Amino acid sequence: MITVPVVLGAGEAARTDGEAGARGYDVLVGDGASARLADLVARRVPSARRAAVVTDEAVAATPWFARMDPGLPYEVHAVEAGERAKTMANVESLCRAFALSGLARSDVVVAVGGGVVSDLGGFAAAVYHRGTPYCTVATSLLGQVDAAIGGKTGVNLPEGKNLVGAFWQPTGVLCDTALLETLPRREWASGRGEMAKYTFLGEPELLELPFEAQVGRCVARKAMVVAADERETGTRVLLNYGHTLAHALEAAALRSGVDLRHGEAVALGLVYAAGLARRLGRIGDDRVALHHEVVKRFGLSDRLPPGLEGMDPEELLAYMARDKKATHDLSFVLDGPRGVELVRGVAVKDALGALEELEDPSCT
């Protein structure tokens, strides 16, 4: 079992908003980590007399779900599986169900599931009674290496993803790698894309480690970035490496009915960012080749999926810039001699050239 401490607010003046003394938590990674749930709740939320377990229907149907034990009387609240569950309507339903079950501010919310459940359950906890403690059993690979750590919680609006949310840190996170056995094959891609990203964020040897240690290193890397920039005012943006194009591809895929997982889009985003960095003279051919190799070694493709081949680069660029008027200030997180950093003011011709290269690798 690997324990990764997430240290928050280092050097911060004493807080007066009720969070003092609770500035940090552990992430436990390993086979069987979820068996520590009751212990975690007892140690970190000693005031709790009852728990609300938030999950989704697919997770609730797994053979291991019945073994989840917060060590207190609890009710299970299962939402539909998938991104569509991240709604304000579900936040209201959950909070009303918490109230009906008699959940107090001194009690605890336990999110058991992937990133959707930790985002939704964490946000419901953040607003219920103006803030109720919560902890997470992360059950998807993406949840374990990324979503469950860092305290960003929230839901979507019809106008956009993650538009409503709160920074609300969990009291602990359990990443039980044994639970991944039931994870659908396609969901693995989501987590692997993020893992490929961490290779370029200070973990070059990631692939050489045993699987559990790989997850542990990703958690530690995310914890480090979050500790340095809890509210994403600076360096936390580096976690978006590969994500500018990824988000554009996801939007394009949604519009054209192409099934593209987040991690598959991130993999393409990494390859694109490498091509763009080369155009800007920041890295050479060897680094670009490394991006392709890493993506492939994580089992992901470095080529656009059939439905997105031949997409108009201008359209993708518009997605990346959100709006054509903003194309004069394109920013990307890019590799370079000092490592990965935020680069502002990228010229449209370079962004477009790198897109053409992604669509037709022979045109470099």
The verdict on 190 binding ligand NAD (CB under 6 A) reads yes
The verdict on 244 binding ligand NAD (CB under 6 A) reads no
Closest distance to ligand NAD from the beta carbon of 62 (Å): 5
Among 114, 172, 193, 275, binds ligand NAD (CB under 6 A): 114
Which residue in the list 86, 192, 221, 262 is annotated as catalytic? 262
The verdict on 56 binding ligand NAD (CB under 6 A) reads yes
The answer to whether 250 and 260 have CB atoms below 8 angstroms apart is yes
Closest distance to ligand NAD from the beta carbon of 294 (Å): 19
The verdict on 147 binding ligand NAD (CB under 6 A) reads yes
Q: Which of 346, 271, 350, 333 is nearest to 304 (CA)?
A: 271
Q: Is 43 a catalytic residue?
A: no
Closest distance to ligand NAD from the beta carbon of 247 (Å): 10
The verdict on 214 binding ligand NAD (CB under 6 A) reads no
Kindly report the number of other CB atoms within 10 A of residue 115's CB atom.
24
Burial-class residue 310 by CB neighbours within 10 Å (0-12, 13-18, 19+): exposed
| Measured distance CA(149)–CA(364) in Å, rounded | 38
Q: Which is nearer to ligand NAD, 180 or 288 (CB)?
A: 180
Tell the residue number behind the tokens 């997470």, with chain if given: 136
CA dist 329 → 10, 66, 250 (Å): 33, 51, 21
- The residue type of 341 is E
Among 28, 54, 81, 251, binds ligand NAD (CB under 6 A): 81
Q: Which two tokens stand for residue 231?
A: 């509210």
Q: Catalog residues that contact ligand NAD under the rule CB under 6 A.
A: 56, 58-59, 62, 81-83, 86, 113-117, 119, 139-140, 142-143, 146-147, 150, 152, 162, 179-180, 182-184, 187, 190
